[in-house]
Structure 1
Amino acid sequence: MLTSAVTVSHQWPQVSVDPQRRLNPLDTQAKARKVEGEADMDANGRYMESMLAVWNEWEIRMLVLTSLALQVFLLFFAGIRKRNVSAALSLLLWLAYLLADSIAIYALGYLSQTRVPKAFKRTHRIQALWAPFLLLHLGGQDTITAFSIEDNELWKRHLLSLLTQVGLAVYVFTKSHPGADILAPAVFMFVSGIVEYGERTWALRCASMDNLRSGMVTTPDPGPNYAKFMEEYRFTREAGLQAEIVIEQERRAEAAAVAAGVAEETVPYTEVIADASRFFVIFKRLFANLILSFQERTRSQATFLRLTPEQAYKVIEIELSLMYDTLHSKAAVIHTWYGRLLRCLTLLSTSTACLLFNVLLRHRKGKQHQSSYSHVDVCITNILFGGALCLEVYAIGMMLISYWTHAALRSCNFSFLSNLIFRSIQYFRPESRSKWSNLMAQHNLISFCLLDKPTVLTKVLSVLGLKGHWDSWLHIRHIDVSHELKIVVFRELKDKTASIVDAESYRKFSNHRGRWALQCKGYYKELGWSVEVEFDESILLWHIATDLCFHSGDDAGDVKVAPFVEVSRAMSNYMLFLLVARPFMLTAGIGQIRFGDTCAEARNFFGTAAHPDAGAAARTVLGLSAEIAPRDVKGDRSKSVLFDACRLAKSLLELPPRKRWRVIRAVWVRVEMLCYAASKCRSNFHAKQLSGGGELLTVVWFLMAHLGVGEQYRIEAGHARAKLIVEKN
């Protein structure tokens, strides 16, 4: 078979191709990569949009849950700080305290600006119910209203915030056009939120210093009518009658007489709580810089002189705990008749809101066969309800088993209820548990100079102004306040109180800074110069001298001397800590300048030889001849006292070990240095330390006040009773 091939000719258009632009395989790959990159960018863009949508969906949910978590943390851990000195806990509480308000306010603002698509408007309408919960969170917890006492002075700012945030929450809720199933629960939650926020603002106002002072000032008392009395006296004389004015002073019992008639005894714990609650009402005036009368001193002495040292300290611990509650919590509000009524109101209101929400939600589901609300939002709302109820119940439980409630029931003669509360207090707050940290900080100059080496880190911290915080964290430690130290302080104060017979001696007692101790021991002539200088210089002198005597090795192995050494060194290191880290608690001076100059001279001296430890360094200092006063050689430009302390230590080393450490203990522990520092510290600085675990200086200050020692008592004359006696002719 023959086949014919047919050739078909196609006329293609002629295209002129530039030889330089001919298709290149590399260009093809580049274009492919560009297309793939654009596809990846589109995919990444869609992924980012998806992630952004998820974040927008969950942002407000995470905010309200975080706000609730912060409230739980503050409720359980805020009260711990009054008996804990941990810097980490303090930092966490500070962050939680600031973030709790910031997050709640931001969440309210977020809700007010929310724009949701129409398709989701009904689904997310339940989020408007979260606004009153945020108000509840802004009201804070009963355990903390102010992180520091300075926060109490900002109560007017919190009042303004209360008004604005309540208005914003109402705006957020009304803007969402809520249905009847949300409206009723929201009204009850608004009641709880506004009451809680109002309680916090009122507690801050009550704890401000101006309000504390005005609330403790006694009612103005003009006394007997002097003008009328003198008019009667004048008329009697003008009538020709023989008249005479006889004045009888009010009788008062002095401490010596009180101490002689009272024997020390152990009283039940319920009496300790009752005494603390009774005296707190009186002695809290000290924190407002108010004075006390001799009648109050007599009543306090009559109680404290019969208590054992352990129970006397327990009374003071409870009083300081009550003062902490007054300054940093809602105690001043909730432990009143209206406060307890409001607490019942908030619990009832929150419970009703929770019940209504779930009943109406179930009714809505049954009617429409499905809920139009987001299941996640419903779960979060129930978590908020559950959290609010649990926090409320826990707070009420804490309120019931408190010293405040026990004292109130006892004063109303509700014996059964007060005994029930007391048993609960014994279980949850046993007598053996300390109500403050029971710690004293320790700072040692010689060890600090040996360990504080200049590094790149310390130079950077110095530039940033953080070197002091670094030194506090690295070189300051805490030890327990020993039972022996407490006993010695109490016994010494008690003995001196019983030996004082006039009002002037009470006030002068706290002005001694070791002079009395040296005079009693018979060494004032040789060592008196060390306590006649400024107080900060005296602390440095005796601190370094105590260390030099300890490292000299003369008393090594003497068992009878060991207790004196331990107590003396603990008090010496504590007083240096106050000088360096708490200078505001001591009298005004140049203590930090003296400390810095002394450290600089010590580093220069220690740098001339290798000193592996503090003992070798101390022995090197003692080996230096210091017959001439350093000031006569160096002048007065440097405030260092290193070699003045060396002279003092050499004078002490001339004494036998037992006498030496008895003298040192007398200066430190026979409460003269301690009492002087405690009495000169301003009351607001004592109050400031209550939130940081408490301070031994504050405990001693309160013990002095209860035993009548110090300058707190200015009313000594008492009530005079003038009688006009007329003799008939």
Structure 2
Amino acid sequence: MAQMEQRGSTNMTKALEALSPWLENPRSIVNQVEALVLAAAVLLLFQLILCSCRRQSSNAFIQAGAWVSYTMSFPLVTYTLGMMQTSPVKNVLYPVWAVSLFLVAGCTNAVTSYDLDDNKQWKKHLFEVFQYALYSAINIKLLFPYSTAEVFNLKAKYFKSMSITPVIVILNLIVLLTNFVKVISCWRVGVDFSSKRVAEFMRKQAREDRPSVFNPVAMEGYRYPIRCGRHKSITIDEVWKLDSTLFRSGASTKLKDSCLSYALFKLLRRQYHGMECAEAGLPETRDFVLKGLLLTEDDHQIERAFRIVEVELGFYHDYLFTKYIIIRKREKLFFAMLLVRILLISIVLHYVTRNSLAVMTAAAIIEVQTKTVDTIITVLVLTIILMVEVLQAAFYLASDWAKVTLTKRYLSNQCYRGNACLEKIIVFISKVTMFRYWANQIGQSSVISDNKYFDRHLQYVIESPPHSLAMLFSSFSLGKRTTRVSICSPVKRAISRSIKMSKDPLTNGKSSLDHNGVLRGFSWALNGQTQTEIMLIWHIATEYCNIAQPNTTETGEVQDMKCHREVAVRLSRYCAYLIDSAPELLSDYMDTEIPIAKMMQDMRKVMGKCTSIHAKFEVMKHLEECEGEEEEEEDTMFRRGVKLGKQLDCLDAALQWKVLEEFWAETIVYIAPSDNVNGHLERLAKGGEFLTHIWALLSHAGIRAINRVQDKHTMPSHPSEENV
């Protein structure tokens, strides 16, 4: 007996020792919890703003901030809810904080996943929703004075008292339903029945129901679906034919283009799921781009074509990384739940400011009384959440999803036709834009003038490579700092002209060189190596020519030459940027690491300690060509690039830059078609890439993938004596 009493005393002592931190200073626990809740609310606000901006900016702060706000919210919510549930220290505001954290866990409408792989984790997200709901329910129990058996009498006993408890319970259930939207959005990306219907619809159009007349300007005959329902479909040619007041207004062009972008997004989405694109080989598909979107070389026409693609890729980004696709399908439910959440949060806010909450549970706890600072922080948290709710609604209403949805309803229901009120709403919303689609910039890198990023390739050839851990951290980058320049109209014009002049199949610069009558002299620099090696050789040659010729300020023909030069240099440096910072978009990037490393090693050896551009140019200018037995060993991409630069520099300056401009435009068009759909889609959430826009444009012309290996060894990779 004495032994049992001693054991019980020992257990009590251990229990008191375990509780001593809370017994000594229970207020510190509450302070920690409310600080974490406030941090979670602030993260939610940052998540909404930064994740809404990440598709338009590759800025390191925005990309890193979006990643932190998305990634940190889950462990923060889990830890805080667990701390609130396991600790014997309680505060009457815990249920309010718990439901606030539960709402944070569902993320904002601006993000459901940070990258494509997150969408595959929908089962994990579903488990987390139930986990957070359980934690929140346990904390809400603090406000319940009844046992489980008495819960069924709540309507008679408790709800009549107008307590805060039923409000928080209902809010918790509404938040639970809201959080399912994230799970459904992730699940839907992997299992998209809509894309299957679109694929079947286009297959039927291509094989059975092809119209006899096609006009890509008026979209006549182009039955690209805006709505592809089981019983009724709406196609883009119907929108162009419609002669209502709405489509005769000043906003008609923008509305039609938004609808076209949405239809093109639905077509492009099939590639992500590996579905057949039945219309790809049809002549009218190619005409849609060449004789429709790119009909003329007028700057306005070209800007419109690229803007349509921008909006299309904006839809694609939102489909993959946000909740907008689910909200669009259940708009009425979304806004109803939004209004209920705002109402219930406002009621809770009212109770908190009046200090009307009280702990009602009969369980043994250490209750910490609420101070003014607790009330202030709770009010701040709820205010932030209300602000997020209102901003989310505003962002959606200003998005292209709302514009297209209203237009679809206008088209599908005859009673809406001629409705002046609805038409005014659609016109007003069509003019509102809160965020750009992307920054309209391209990255710039240079092997000659700024090669610090290319130096990382040296790890493949140096005798003592850096430690694996150092390599890991060096490769971990949320937003590499690179030089960026705006995509000027001449660049887009050059790309447009190259697409229109492109032959079937596409060539890697041969057509442009042949068009300018210089193919024979430069054919050696186009074959015999990978496409990445070809681009680096021509990039070095372009840099050589750019340094060799000083800038001029004259007008007339020289001004045209300056324009050619600017386009050539920008596209050349963009290709260098792609090789270094976005190699996954290139078909052969896995095979080029060691050749690039050898090129950098050779360049370092040749350049020595030269740092200025002109000093480097003098070294290149007097670089002896490899001859004899040492040629095979020393003739790296760098030396071949210098050879090509010297050869180009012998041309007339005007012809030289015209050749380089057209070569680089054709090269960009040549490397754009790709089977690596995921690589392009991942870049949408990192500020976007100009190459992705060209990839989408070519996809709609029926150019989806090309064989870049077939001509690799058909021509010599070194200049013959007569060509040098």
Determine the structure 2 residue equivalent to 1:570.
570
After superposition, residues 285-300 of structure 1 pair within 5 angstroms as 285-290=270-275, 291-293=277-279, 294=282
- Alpha-carbon distance change, 586 to 474 in structure 1, aligned in 2, over 3 angstroms: closer
- Answering whether residue 70 of structure 2 is matched by residue 92 of structure 1, we say no
Match of 1:272 among 249, 252, 257: 257
Determine the structure 1 residue equivalent to 2:224.
none
2: distance between equivalents of 1:222 and 1:640?
A: 53
Determine the structure 2 residue equivalent to 1:537.
533
Determine the structure 2 residue equivalent to 1:201.
183
- Alpha-carbon distance change, 207 to 452 in structure 1, aligned in 2, over 3 angstroms: closer
2: distance between equivalents of 1:192 and 1:559?
A: 64
Higher mean C-alpha displacement, 81-90 vs 702-711: 702-711
2: distance between equivalents of 1:668 and 1:525?
A: 18
- Answering whether residue 294 of structure 2 is matched by residue 317 of structure 1, we say no
1: distance between equivalents of 2:272 and 2:550?
A: 45
Determine the structure 1 residue equivalent to 2:8.
none
Q: Cα RMSD between the aligned structures?
A: 4.0
- How far is 1:376 from its partner? 4.4
**C-alpha distance after superposition, 1:500-520 (max 9, x if no partner):** 7xxxx3xx13xx111111121
Q: Is the 8 A contact 2:112 2:323 kept in 1?
A: yes
Q: Is the 8 A contact 1:586 1:681 kept in 2?
A: no
After superposition, residues 264-413 of structure 1 pair within 5 angstroms as 268-290=253-275, 291-293=277-279, 294=282, 303-306=292-295, 308-336=301-329, 338-352=330-344, 354-355=346-347, 358=350, 375-413=372-410
**C-alpha distance after superposition, 1:435-460 (max 9, x if no partner):** 21111111111123589999xxx997
1: distance between equivalents of 2:657 and 2:447?
A: 20
- How far is 1:198 from its partner? 0.6
Determine the structure 2 residue equivalent to 1:527.
522
Determine the structure 1 residue equivalent to 2:712.
none
- How far is 1:698 from its partner? 0.5
2: distance between equivalents of 1:207 and 1:102?
A: 25
Determine the structure 1 residue equivalent to 2:669.
675
**C-alpha distance after superposition, 1:10-55 (max 9, x if no partner):** xxxxxxxxxxxxxxxxxxxxxxxxxxxxxxxxxxxxxx99995442
After superposition, residues 35-114 of structure 1 pair within 5 angstroms as 52-114=25-87
- How far is 1:673 from its partner? 1.0
**C-alpha distance after superposition, 1:118-138 (max 9, x if no partner):** xxx6xx233123222221111
**C-alpha distance after superposition, 1:313-341 (max 9, x if no partner):** 111111111111111111111111x2431
- Alpha-carbon distance change, 284 to 298 in structure 1, aligned in 2, over 3 angstroms: farther
- How far is 1:566 from its partner? 1.3
Determine the structure 1 residue equivalent to 2:623.
624
Match of 1:481 among 475, 480, 487: 487
Q: Is the 8 A contact 2:185 2:325 kept in 1?
A: yes
Q: Is the 8 A contact 2:441 2:487 kept in 1?
A: yes
Higher mean C-alpha displacement, 660-669 vs 267-276: 267-276
Matched letter for residue 478 of structure 1: R
Determine the structure 1 residue equivalent to 2:588.
588
- How far is 1:468 from its partner? 5.1
Q: How many residues align?
A: 606
- Alpha-carbon distance change, 81 to 491 in structure 1, aligned in 2, over 3 angstroms: same
- How far is 1:650 from its partner? 2.2
- Alpha-carbon distance change, 461 to 78 in structure 1, aligned in 2, over 3 angstroms: farther
Secondary structure of the corresponding residue to residue 485 of structure 2: strand
Matched letter for residue 199 of structure 1: V
- Alpha-carbon distance change, 178 to 459 in structure 1, aligned in 2, over 3 angstroms: farther
2: distance between equivalents of 1:224 and 1:348?
A: 47
Secondary structure of the corresponding residue to residue 563 of structure 2: helix
Determine the structure 1 residue equivalent to 2:510.
515
Secondary structure of the corresponding residue to residue 52 of structure 2: helix
- How far is 1:603 from its partner? 0.7
2: distance between equivalents of 1:98 and 1:278?
A: 33
What TM-score does the superposition give when structure 1 sets the normalisation length? Answer: 0.74
- Alpha-carbon distance change, 205 to 452 in structure 1, aligned in 2, over 3 angstroms: closer
Determine the structure 2 residue equivalent to 1:263.
none
2: distance between equivalents of 1:311 and 1:49?
A: 65
2: distance between equivalents of 1:470 and 1:364?
A: 50
Q: Is the 8 A contact 1:277 1:407 kept in 2?
A: yes
1: distance between equivalents of 2:70 and 2:205?
A: 48
- How far is 1:536 from its partner? 1.1
- Alpha-carbon distance change, 299 to 471 in structure 1, aligned in 2, over 3 angstroms: closer
Q: Is the 8 A contact 2:289 2:697 kept in 1?
A: no
Q: Is the 8 A contact 1:287 1:684 kept in 2?
A: yes
1: distance between equivalents of 2:27 and 2:357?
A: 26
- How far is 1:592 from its partner? 2.5
Secondary structure of the corresponding residue to residue 443 of structure 2: strand
- Alpha-carbon distance change, 435 to 605 in structure 1, aligned in 2, over 3 angstroms: same
Determine the structure 2 residue equivalent to 1:426.
431
Determine the structure 2 residue equivalent to 1:719.
none
Secondary structure of the corresponding residue to residue 440 of structure 1: strand
Match of 2:690 among 692, 696, 706: 696
After superposition, residues 198-237 of structure 1 pair within 5 angstroms as 198-208=180-190, 217-218=199-200
Matched letter for residue 208 of structure 1: G
2: distance between equivalents of 1:445 and 1:65?
A: 47
2: distance between equivalents of 1:561 and 1:674?
A: 20
Secondary structure of the corresponding residue to residue 478 of structure 1: strand
Q: Is the 8 A contact 2:398 2:432 kept in 1?
A: no
1: distance between equivalents of 2:402 and 2:672?
A: 31
Higher mean C-alpha displacement, 101-110 vs 293-302: 293-302
- Alpha-carbon distance change, 219 to 61 in structure 1, aligned in 2, over 3 angstroms: same
1: distance between equivalents of 2:327 and 2:509?
A: 46
- How far is 1:491 from its partner? 3.0
- Alpha-carbon distance change, 422 to 77 in structure 1, aligned in 2, over 3 angstroms: farther
- How far is 1:527 from its partner? 0.8
Determine the structure 1 residue equivalent to 2:637.
641
- How far is 1:379 from its partner? 4.2
2: distance between equivalents of 1:686 and 1:520?
A: 31
2: distance between equivalents of 1:74 and 1:653?
A: 52
Q: Is the 8 A contact 1:448 1:475 kept in 2?
A: no
Matched letter for residue 305 of structure 2: A
Determine the structure 2 residue equivalent to 1:187.
169
Structure 2 residue ranges without an equivalent (≥5): 1-20, 147-157, 221-250, 359-367, 411-415, 457-463, 707-724
Matched letter for residue 99 of structure 2: P
After superposition, residues 443-462 of structure 1 pair within 5 angstroms as 443-449=445-451
1: distance between equivalents of 2:43 and 2:624?
A: 62
1: distance between equivalents of 2:72 and 2:206?
A: 57
2: distance between equivalents of 1:322 and 1:615?
A: 47
What TM-score does the superposition give when structure 2 sets the normalisation length? Answer: 0.75
- How far is 1:113 from its partner? 0.6
Determine the structure 2 residue equivalent to 1:37.
none
Determine the structure 1 residue equivalent to 2:438.
436
Q: Is the 8 A contact 1:461 1:467 kept in 2?
A: no
- Alpha-carbon distance change, 344 to 300 in structure 1, aligned in 2, over 3 angstroms: farther
2: distance between equivalents of 1:92 and 1:434?
A: 19
Q: Is the 8 A contact 1:472 1:581 kept in 2?
A: no
